[in-house]
Amino acid sequence: MLDFGAGREKTGVENAAAFQAAVSAVADFGRGTVDFSDLPLRFDGVLRFPPFVSARGGGAISFSPTSKWVFGNGRDRRAFKSQVQGIRFLRTLASANGAAIPRGSSFIEIDGCRELLINDCFFYGAEVAISHPANSALPDHSNAMIVISNNHFGEVDYAWKASRHEDAPWGVNSDCVFSGNIVNRAYESHVHCDSIDGVTVTDNTFFFLTHNQNREGGSPRVLEKKNNIYIGESNWVHIHNNNCFEAGTEAIKLSAARTANITGNNIAWPGQVVPSDGIHISGHETGESLRLVATSNQITYYTRHAIYVEGAAQACSVGLNSVIYDDHPPTYLGAEPLGVGTAHNRYHFADSVGIMPIVDDGFSPRAGEGDRYPSTAGVGLATFSRLEKFAGSSTAQSTASFSPGGSAPTFTCRDVERAGKEYGALVVITAKRRAVTDARSSTYILMVSKASSDSGPVETVVLISSGGWIKGESTEDPSFTWALVNDVLVASSVGATKGIGFVFFATATGNLLIS
């Protein structure tokens, strides 16, 4: 680079001319690498790289507010087979609290470039450090196979932002990797993709401004932070082993997702600005339905749900995950009330999911850590584990009121495939006068079955054993007999038993989904 007239005493404009001359000279050879030296250099201009030209260096390049490096001609997709390695991209800012970042600034712009590796670099002071600008002219898969690895980002709004113009195909960005990076810090989002057809985000550490920096004298931008990772319309998304700290909204959010695998992430204190989920997944509204795996994640102090799923799904598997809920987390900065634990769930599946999700975790009895299944599964269903085609284990809870000798429905019964024709299982029901620890309780072990016959279905309940307050000597006794009527398990009060709000907890093991 120095051979082409660049130097530490030269102006940014002079160095920009030298940079372009060096890049053009290497391009004339057909391929090669430009060495940007170890000296600190100023840069003021737009440096355009052709295919097969790489850049490396060990020094710092100080960019003016509008300067950037561009890979791609903005009109078509081209294979670059290039690398940017070991360069320190810097801007001198008046402050280090996010207020001095130049609007519209970037360091590297990818605009019709395929096969580019950016590694071992340092980025400081940009709205978007690495940008895919919105461009209506680019065809499908124009910005593809971009690998961004082992870099350090600081004082940026976004570390990597892949935008999409509304007139561009949703797969204009595709098959990219963001791995092994440290972002300390971003002010809005660390990784943001409007749309992408294939992306891996793995082994990164993401920092925002901390909740403590909302005190007087802290950064005025602490309330602007959003997601650690946001992915819009997408397919083939892999998000693994990231440390996601202090998101203002959802730590990981996918909108219009098709296939997603989210595993092994440490998610600490999300939803600090508005009540939000740790992981939020929305399936595609009109395209392929959702296929999701979300497991082995650690989610602490979410302010809405730990994992939220909505949209039609083909397959949905969640768990094992570790979650911690608190009614009043010390990290919450927002003005909107959080509500009580019953307004929050560990796993919340909207009715639009439409299928029975596979949940490998057991039931959590702690406030804010219950599960909400789609209504297609039954309103009272708490947990369900599919053991094989015709066997499973499900738990459910219901409430009913009784007059003396009266009857009330408690649970709906179906086979595990939800066809409703034939089923059978061992069902253990604990009945309590109230949903408190010291309330009177009884336990009933039942064999529940439905079978076909020439004269119609035969519904059967056999009491195997019972214990507790089963004699009905007091109105407070949870004493009942049981029958199966039109796929509904009906309880009938015994003796003096009566009152409002008896609570039932059921576990079914076999070919029976109880809800």
Does 242 have pLDDT greater than 90?
A: yes
Average pLDDT for residues 314-321, to the nearest whole number?
Answer: 89
Please, are residues 190 and 225 in contact by the beta-carbon 8 Å criterion? no
Average pLDDT for residues 251-279, to the nearest whole number?
Answer: 97
Residue 86: exposure state from Cβ atoms within 10 A (0-12, 13-18, ≥19):
middle
What is the band of 88 on the pLDDT scale with cuts at 50, 70, 90? very high
Residues in a beta bridge with 35:
56
Please, are residues 504 and 491 in contact by the beta-carbon 8 Å criterion? yes
Q: Quick check: is 209 in a domain?
A: no
Does 17 have pLDDT greater than 80?
A: yes
Q: Quick check: is 104 in a domain?
A: no
What is the band of 102 on the pLDDT scale with cuts at 50, 70, 90? very high
Comparing 196-205, 259-268, 358-367, 479-488, which segment has the lowest mean pLDDT?
358-367
What is the band of 387 on the pLDDT scale with cuts at 50, 70, 90? low
Q: Quick check: is 446 in a domain?
A: yes
Give the predicted TM-score (pTM) of the model: 0.82
List the one residue out of 370, 364, 318 whose CA is nearest residue 341.
370
Q: Quick check: is 456 in a domain?
A: yes
d(CA 296, CA 315): 18
Q: Quick check: is 482 in a domain?
A: yes
Q: What is the pLDDT of residue 89?
A: 97
Does 285 have pLDDT greater than 90?
A: no
d(CA 51, CA 54): 8
Does 370 have pLDDT greater than 90?
A: no
Q: What is the pLDDT of residue 515?
A: 82
Does 340 have pLDDT greater than 90?
A: no
Does 232 have pLDDT greater than 60?
A: yes
User: CATH number for the domain including 428?
Assistant: 2.60.40
Q: Quick check: is 415 in a domain?
A: yes
Sign, CA torsion 283/287/293/298: negative
Q: Quick check: is 102 in a domain?
A: no
Q: What is the DSSP string of 230-280?
A: EEEEEEEEEEES-EEE--SS-SEEEEEESEEEEES-EEES--SSS---SEE
* Counted domains in the chain: 1
Read off the amino acid at residue 374. P
For 485, the domain range is 397-514
Per-residue CA distances from 466 to 322, 410, 432, 441, 479 (Å): 35, 17, 14, 11, 10
Q: Omega into 338 within 30° of 0, i.e. cis?
A: no
pLDDT tens per residue across span 41-67: 999 999 999 999 999 998 899 999 999
Residues in a beta bridge with 70:
48, 109
Q: What is the DSSP string of 437-466?
A: TTS-EEEEEEEEEEE--TTS-EEEEEEEEE
Q: Quick check: is 236 in a domain?
A: no
Q: What angle do CA 320, 322, 325 make, to 5 degrees?
A: 140
Residue 337: exposure state from Cβ atoms within 10 A (0-12, 13-18, ≥19):
exposed
What is the band of 393 on the pLDDT scale with cuts at 50, 70, 90? confident
